[in-house]
Chains A and B, each alone.
Chain A
Amino acid sequence: MTTVQIIFIVAAAVTLGAAIMVVTTRKLLHAAVWLILSLLGVAVFYVLLNAGFLAVAQLVIYIGAIAILMIFAIMLTRHLALDIGPQVHRGWPWALLIAILLFGGLIWLLSSWSDVSTELPVMSSRADPLTDLGVALVSPNAYVIPFELASILLLAALIGAIYVAWPKKEKEG
């Protein structure tokens, strides 16, 4: 077993364990912290796949922005945010069935794929996937239209947020 495999197994166990804790813990804030650990585990997978940019983007966007926003929202509501009541939904056998079917389907799909046992190609030390990614995002032959569309969407969301938050002028009298 290589070091990469050991790291993968540990990261996978931590990610899955933390994900289970997210849905089973009763304190809402603890769930948010477990979620952060789970997201961190996903970032480790990206590192193992030589996708450093995606790993750091995961850190910045999911942990730095989304998780902290969640925690902030929870803090603004109640102090303890305890969840009392049953933790399973009535239709849990159906959910279990669908989950098993999905998992089985994925296993079947992967086992019938011939390239599944291909070794990860070793990248040359001078290769820079980051530059390739950057060029691809603005190149007309690659992803410039989706990139620009996403930019416009984000800009629209930004302007919309400003419009919603703008103080309404009350009419006098």
Chain B
Amino acid sequence: MADQLTGFVNWLENLLLSLGLAESFVSFLMATLGVLTIMMFVLVLDVFLVWVERKVVARFQGRLGPNRLGPFGIIQPFADIIKLLIKEDITPIGADRILFNLAPPFAMAAVLLIWAVIPFSDGLLGADLNVGVLYIVGVGAIGTLSIILAGWASNNKYSLLGAFRTVAQMIAYEVPMVIVLLVPVLLAGSMNVSEIVDSQGVWYIFIAPLAAIILLITAIAEIGRTPFDLLEAESEIVAGFHIEYTGMKFGLFYAAELLHALTVGALFATLFLGGWRGPFADQFPILGVFYLFLKAFLIYYVIMWIKYTLPRIRIDHMLNFNWKFLTPLALTLLIVTAITEKLIDQYFVNITLTLYVGIMLVANVIIAWIVLAIVRKYAQSTRKRVGDERSIAQPPLETPASGSD
């Protein structure tokens, strides 16, 4: 498809140039068209994500899900959209009107911006940035910003609490996420996302499986999905940061969350599952798009699976898990991967690919084994501490005189 697409782009460019438009204006117009195409593609996909999500959650809960409108209820999202559009648009009293209205588009923009650097197929990508991975981290900040603004501008205690939790969670989980993102960068020797895909002759999930798992966990925390959905914990703070939003403004938050989950899937697929690579993807670039979305939806399914299976984690556990477990583990992983990679580079130049993957895999397994041993020991000591008799808050013991003895 990349060839046909390039042909089409060239044809359109020549057509515009023959109309007598200035060259710089035409290139600007073509860039705008490219942005709009990627954006529309992703947004239309987003409409159907609502249906996918509702169908899958229904299956997990032993229900049927939407099944009335169209085959398998596939028209249902459009009904949902119409419903959201005709709802009353309420701005609460005392809300900061500008920031209140600014927050939902920011949430959507933060997700859409990531798609700019994800390669859909060989040579088919929005922007070929040489700092792609860092860019992904950078635009994530806009998502955090939107949630803080939404929570503050709503003039509501619960939404403010939700915003506080968000900052704690998102900033905390960004640390191991950034460290772990360095592992594929290290292995590929480049921050360019398409170069990372190109260098994945063997998928990085086989070379760095622990990094992949940590990326998945931290990404789920960044989206704020169960078990990390403390920012909208229904039983504690009603709906969290988007409690005051109605109609399509709420719809934007909802759509952004769904799309963010798929985006994380695409990101994971790109960094660890070889992106668009697959059988015959080199000859027929259109297959690359298919493979990318197949892998992205697979990860999206795993995220949903986790979401509808696990209960919510407590807030102190959430922070402990991050700072005392994920961050040290990610740091260790980065150091070990760097040293192993350098040693292999230095001393085993003519190593076969299988052996290289094997050494990396063994290094990961050793780290995992040590970590599990430490965790087991910690769990034992915690169990002992909790199980022991404690000297606090005990009522004065009155021996039951007339008792069994």
**Measuring CB to CB, which residues of chain A are less than 8 angstroms from any residue of chain B?**
2-3, 27, 29-30, 33, 36, 52-53, 56-57, 59-60, 63-65, 67-68, 71-72, 75, 79, 128, 130
- Inter-chain CA distance A3–B27, complex, in Å, is 9
- Inter-chain CA distance A29–B102, complex, in Å, is 13
- Across the interface, name the chain A residue whose C-beta is closest to B129: A52
Interchain Cβ contacts under 8 Å between A and B, 22 examples: A2-B24, A3-B25, A3-B27, A33-B102, A33-B149, A56-B129, A56-B131, A56-B134, A56-B138, A59-B138, A63-B142, A64-B138, A67-B145, A68-B141, A68-B167, A71-B145, A71-B148, A71-B152, A75-B148, A75-B160, A75-B163, A130-B131
- Inter-chain CA distance A65–B140, complex, in Å, is 11
B137 contacts partner chain A, Cβ-Cβ < 8 Å? yes
Q: How far is the CB of B142 from chain A (nearest CB, A)?
A: 8
Q: How far is the CB of B53 from chain A (nearest CB, A)?
A: 28
- Across the interface, name the chain B residue whose C-beta is closest to A2: B24
Docked-complex contact A3 and B24, CB < 8 angstroms:
yes
Docked-complex contact B145 and A68, CB < 8 angstroms:
yes
Q: How far is the CB of B286 from chain A (nearest CB, A)?
A: 26
B290 contacts partner chain A, Cβ-Cβ < 8 Å? no
State which of A2, A3, A53, A63 has its C-beta within 8 Å of the C-beta of B134.
A53
- Inter-chain CA distance A72–B141, complex, in Å, is 13
- Across the interface, name the chain B residue whose C-beta is closest to A67: B145
State which of A57, A60, A75 has its C-beta within 8 Å of the C-beta of B164.
A75
Docked-complex contact B167 and A72, CB < 8 angstroms:
yes
Docked-complex contact B145 and A130, CB < 8 angstroms:
no
Q: Contacts A52-B131, A72-B148, A130-B131; is A30 near B99 (CB within 8 Å)?
A: yes
Q: Contacts A64-B140, A64-B141; is A130 near B191 (CB within 8 Å)?
A: yes
Q: Which of A30, A67, A130 has the most CB of B within 10 A?
A: A130
- Across the interface, name the chain A residue whose C-beta is closest to B141: A64
Residues of A within 8 A of B129 (CB): 52, 56
Docked-complex contact A57 and B134, CB < 8 angstroms:
yes
Query: Digit string of B166-179 for contact with A (CB within 8 Å is 1, else 0)?
Result: 01000100100000
Docked-complex contact A59 and B141, CB < 8 angstroms:
yes
- Across the interface, name the chain A residue whose C-beta is closest to B128: A125
B96 contacts partner chain A, Cβ-Cβ < 8 Å? yes
At the interface, is chain A mostly helix, strand, loop or mixed? helix
Q: Which of A33, A36, A60 has the most CB of B within 10 A?
A: A60
- Across the interface, name the chain B residue whose C-beta is closest to A79: B155
Q: How far is the CB of B47 from chain A (nearest CB, A)?
A: 29
At the interface, is chain B mostly helix, strand, loop or mixed? helix
| Those of B117-149 within 8 Å (CB) of chain A | 129-131, 134-135, 137-142, 144-145, 148-149
Residues of A within 8 A of B25 (CB): 3
Interface residues on B, range: 20 to 34
B369 contacts partner chain A, Cβ-Cβ < 8 Å? no
- Inter-chain CA distance A119–B102, complex, in Å, is 39
- Inter-chain CA distance A63–B135, complex, in Å, is 12
- Across the interface, name the chain A residue whose C-beta is closest to B153: A29
Residues of A within 8 A of B135 (CB): 56, 59
Docked-complex contact B99 and A59, CB < 8 angstroms:
no
B11 contacts partner chain A, Cβ-Cβ < 8 Å? no
Residues of A within 8 A of B138 (CB): 56, 59-60, 63-64
- Inter-chain CA distance A35–B27, complex, in Å, is 31
- Inter-chain CA distance A134–B208, complex, in Å, is 24
Residues of A within 8 A of B144 (CB): 64, 68
B305 contacts partner chain A, Cβ-Cβ < 8 Å? no
- Inter-chain CA distance A165–B297, complex, in Å, is 43
Residues of B within 8 A of A63 (CB): 138, 141-142, 145
Residues of A within 8 A of B99 (CB): 29-30, 33
B8 contacts partner chain A, Cβ-Cβ < 8 Å? no
- Inter-chain CA distance A75–B171, complex, in Å, is 16
Residues of B within 8 A of A2 (CB): 24
Starting from the known contacts A56-B134, A130-B130, 9 additional A-B residue pairs (CB-CB under 8 Å) come to A3-B27, A30-B96, A30-B98, A52-B130, A56-B138, A59-B139, A60-B141, A63-B138, A64-B138
B28 contacts partner chain A, Cβ-Cβ < 8 Å? yes
